[in-house]
Structure 1
Amino acid sequence: MRTFLILTVMATGINLLINLPAIASEPGKLPAQMQLTRIAADKWRADYSFSEAISRFSMPAAGDYRSTAWKPLTTGVHYQAEPSAQPDQPIDSYILAQPARQLSFEITSYNGFAQKNYSPNNRYSNGGAGIYMGFFDGDVQEGGKTRGMNLTVSYQGLPGETVIPPPSFSDAERSLRAYAYFGPQKPVLAGAAKLVLDPATPEWLARLILDTTSTMSAYFSSNYQRPLLRELVLMISVTDTSSPGFSMKGGATNGQITFRLSGKAMLNEHPAIRHLVQKLVAHEMAHIWQENVSQGGIGDEPAWIHEGGAEAMAIEALKNTGIWTAEEAVTYQTNASATCKKITSQSDPYHYAYACGLQKFMALNVDIPLLWRSLISETGQSGQPYSEAMLVSVSQRLRNNPSVSK
């Protein structure tokens, strides 16, 4: 196929037809389907079906998750760990002896963590499990070309089991960047959210999570004046209650919140744990509202914009609902300010995003719900992600006219 360029010479009215070489274009995404079936208490089966025969299936590595927990069931398929253009991001590849349109794996429960990544499995004490679906997407080789996938997924649990798929987005890839739940529990209502809470959660902590979730979801629904576009589900699992201390890992993942609790310190009520849990629930729920748009939202801009923004939204909500006292809110901000003075975005980018990001939002001197209602509206209308330029523009407009509310 060739491309033609027509040049029109206005002075003479002569049309010149020139043949140009075809411009190579990136191959489009390959349509694919996958069914994830729970076949036993600790095993799943992933059955892929591709629209064209493929010779290789590759995904960014997630620690040793695939090398230890994934077993190819398709004949003539072997696993290979490979380097990538990014030295710190190796690739897990499955190479097919013969091109095929079907590819199946058996996946065993995995208790480890993928370093600096999502937990592949969150296991519940009653046999339930959360499976991170982002680890099932990748690239394929088809006809000598490397192509991404447009992957749609269906889910099947054990007989009588509850299955909760990830939140649905128009972008199929984004829909996979969350967890699917398989297990015996039915979610319970917690304000504007639904909650799947591990029965091993200590009673005081379960009550705290339920109360904080209900109060925060009701507050955000009322003050941010935008009904959720997707059902909000919180999934709380307990890894163990015997290790020292207390750990609460997880966060918001595209319209969903997951936490994985561990440590024997949570067995007894403790003010420091109470304070941490309240803040984390509020912070992650703030991210849900930041992403409550059909387009736009959190992008690749500096992390302090969405993390510092979520900190500001959370503290304001905790204070105004009475979950925290005004003194507790001031103490938190004071401690964050002290942390920010000791670090830079280069020396400690993680804490900078939270502590210094919070200071940047406080320095704007703009009502936080009004500011974020405007930012959410702006990103939803423009399709552009939150950015420092957007924040400066919107906050300046609000300071000039405080009654403006988009």
Structure 2
Amino acid sequence: MSLAALLVAACSERRESPRIDGDVLITIEQSATGPWRVDYQFAQPQQALDLGADEAGYRAANWRVEGDGAVLVRRNDHDFLTPAPGDKSFDRISLLVTPRPIDLRKDYEPFIAMGDGGVLLYTGHFIPVTQDGERMKARLTVIAAAGGKVSAFGSSGPTLENWESPYRHPAFVYVGSQSLVDSGAMLTIADATAPIWIREEIATFAPAIAQALGGMMQRALPSKPNIFIAIGDLSEEGRLSYSGDALPGQYQMTLAGGAWKTSSPEALFVLRRTTAHEAAHLWQAAARPKSDAVPDWIHEGGAEALAAEAMLAAGYWTTADVDADVDRARSDCAGALRRRSLSQAEADGRWDAVYACGRILNVAAAGPEGIAAFWREFVRRSAADGYDEAAFLALAEERAGEETAAAIRDLVRINEARPSLTIDRLLK
């Protein structure tokens, strides 16, 4: 064989068998006109692949296995890829995936439209889990369609190759034509259709809040964080909808409704308040819940309280504004918990109660040293092994006393006819 032929054969072999750092290499290739191609290549043959929870039949409707080497099935409310009949295992799978949006409420959406053909994808939708429920050690190669960019954290280019998040955690990855904008403290990508006033406000507000939170929590983040701003349907006049998600080092917001088209006091309040909340999650993320059973009121309420203090520290709020915010939370919590415990409210999907009551319980638990000192210590104690409700109550007892910790426990677990009395006792 000639030298040229040997070189061609060697290159072909490298393409067929790329280096796999970890358990799996996942290659996601955008198509400008149809389904995206997703290839899985494993370090070891797989007898079954757990893709995670079935998300309202999303994968069954939008994923199609190429070839006949595997089938997509549902088991115990999870989606699995299993070998085709007659096969015992597989070491690679190719699929065609339609990037259709879906509203999953309190879960991460697989794809979020970002205008001008851009898409924000959540890598956790693609990374399989092990029998122990942990994520496989995965690297990703993400390829944009012609003329596009792939961006995450500080990386941006036509391809993101053999990549993992600097936080070793599932992440958001943007695929589209927009460029990262570096504001000093943040890296932002905004939907091509985002109103100018929103872009300008985030460009100044987000870095100021990040600086305030960094000072309050007394630590810098491991890498410069990302903000992704998506714009939904703006056709409904008067509507002002904000939804957001946070991951380690990143947060995403989707704004919908006609009231976002122009700046107003109400729109500005919602944008700032909710952006500060999502930013607070970036510092909380150094400590994660031990399991899905840990109640959301702990970190959501903590983010509400930290956000208010950051607004004060950054000069956007006065002490009177913070007090008014606590009063709103007090009223909302009392209304949501009439003859219902906080645990039951969370189980019922009453997110107004989770946020408002969580805000009250975090403020009460913090005691005289304040919410920033409480979360600094909470993160320090739980960074290695995660946290649960017992850990929160233990620190609350240390900081605010046994009586306060007992009152928090009661509000969480007992159906009270007059929850306002317990709330007032907590906030004395």
TM class by shorter-chain length? 0.7 to 0.9
Alpha-carbon spacing, 1:214–1:150, altered in 2? closer, same or farther (3 Å): closer
Deviation at 1:117, TM superposition (A): 2.3
SS for the counterpart of 1:122 is strand
Match of 1:222 among 215, 219, 223: 215
Deviation at 1:162, TM superposition (A): 2.2
Match of 2:320 among 323, 327, 349: 327
User: Following the alignment from structure 1 to structure 2, what is the Cα–Cα distance between the partners of residues 52 and 147?
Assistant: 17
Q: Given that residues 187 and 227 in structure 2 are in contact (C-alpha distance below 8 angstroms), is that contact kept between their aligned partners in structure 1?
A: yes
Deviation at 1:298, TM superposition (A): 3.9
Deviation at 1:47, TM superposition (A): 0.8
Deviations 1:54-106 (A, max 9, x none): 343332212232122212113343333x341xxxxx22233332232110111
Match of 2:227 among 221, 230, 234: 234
Alpha-carbon spacing, 1:393–1:162, altered in 2? closer, same or farther (3 Å): farther
Mapping of residues 121-136 of structure 1, within 5 Å: 121-136=111-126
Match of 2:256 among 252, 257, 262: 262
SS for the counterpart of 1:322 is coil
Deviation at 1:331, TM superposition (A): 1.8
SS for the counterpart of 2:31 is strand
Deviations 1:308-360 (A, max 9, x none): 21111110111232212333322221010012223131342233332122222
Alpha-carbon spacing, 1:140–1:318, altered in 2? closer, same or farther (3 Å): closer
SS for the counterpart of 1:93 is strand
Mapping of residues 277-356 of structure 1, within 5 Å: 277-291=271-285, 293=286, 296-300=287-291, 301-342=294-335, 343=337, 344-349=341-346, 350-356=351-357
Letter of the 1:152 counterpart: R
Q: Bigger radius of gyration, 1 or 2?
A: 1
Mapping of residues 7-406 of structure 1, within 5 Å: 31-40=23-32, 42-59=34-51, 60-80=53-73, 82-84=74-76, 90-97=77-84, 98=87, 99-114=89-104, 116-139=106-129, 149-165=136-152, 168-169=165-166, 171=168, 175-176=169-170, 178-243=171-236, 245-291=239-285, 293=286, 296-300=287-291, 301-342=294-335, 343=337, 344-349=341-346, 350-363=351-364, 364-380=367-383, 383-385=385-387, 387-392=391-396, 395=399
Letter of the 1:63 counterpart: A
Alpha-carbon spacing, 1:391–1:213, altered in 2? closer, same or farther (3 Å): same
User: Following the alignment from structure 2 to structure 1, what is the Cα–Cα distance between the partners of residues 313 and 100?
Assistant: 41
Deviations 1:235-273 (A, max 9, x none): 111122114512222221222101122211211223222
User: Following the alignment from structure 1 to structure 2, what is the Cα–Cα distance between the partners of residues 139 and 188?
Assistant: 34
Letter of the 1:359 counterpart: I
Percentage identity across aligned positions?
A: 25
Alpha-carbon spacing, 1:40–1:221, altered in 2? closer, same or farther (3 Å): same
Alpha-carbon spacing, 1:348–1:270, altered in 2? closer, same or farther (3 Å): farther
Letter of the 2:46 counterpart: I
User: Following the alignment from structure 2 to structure 1, what is the Cα–Cα distance between the partners of residues 47 and 133?
Assistant: 10
Letter of the 2:149 counterpart: T
Deviation at 1:228, TM superposition (A): 0.8
Q: Greater CA deviation, 232-241 or 343-352?
A: 343-352
User: Following the alignment from structure 1 to structure 2, what is the Cα–Cα distance between the partners of residues 340 and 106?
Assistant: 46
User: Following the alignment from structure 1 to structure 2, what is the Cα–Cα distance between the partners of residues 115 and 297?
Assistant: 20
Give the TM-score normalised by the residue count of structure 2: 0.74
Letter of the 1:351 counterpart: D
Give 1 or 2: higher strand fraction. Answer: 1
**1:16 equivalent in structure 2:** none
Alpha-carbon spacing, 1:83–1:279, altered in 2? closer, same or farther (3 Å): same
Alpha-carbon spacing, 1:246–1:323, altered in 2? closer, same or farther (3 Å): same
Letter of the 1:52 counterpart: Q
Q: Given that residues 250 and 259 in structure 1 are in contact (C-alpha distance below 8 angstroms), is that contact kept between their aligned partners in structure 2?
A: yes
Give the number of aligned pairs. Answer: 351
User: Following the alignment from structure 1 to structure 2, what is the Cα–Cα distance between the partners of residues 376 and 139?
Assistant: 26
**1:10 equivalent in structure 2:** none
SS for the counterpart of 1:40 is coil
- Structure 1 residues not aligned, in runs of 5+: 1-29, 85-89, 398-406
User: Following the alignment from structure 1 to structure 2, what is the Cα–Cα distance between the partners of residues 43 and 326?
Assistant: 52
| Two-structure CA RMSD over aligned residues (Å) | 2.8
Give the TM-score normalised by the residue count of structure 1: 0.78
Q: Given that residues 151 and 174 in structure 2 are in contact (C-alpha distance below 8 angstroms), is that contact kept between their aligned partners in structure 1?
A: yes
Q: Given that residues 239 and 261 in structure 1 are in contact (C-alpha distance below 8 angstroms), is that contact kept between their aligned partners in structure 2?
A: yes
User: Following the alignment from structure 1 to structure 2, what is the Cα–Cα distance between the partners of residues 206 and 162?
Assistant: 20
Q: Given that residues 36 and 45 in structure 1 are in contact (C-alpha distance below 8 angstroms), is that contact kept between their aligned partners in structure 2?
A: yes
Deviations 1:128-158 (A, max 9, x none): 11011111123579xxx99973322222223
User: Following the alignment from structure 2 to structure 1, what is the Cα–Cα distance between the partners of residues 47 and 56?
Assistant: 24
Deviation at 1:396, TM superposition (A): 5.8
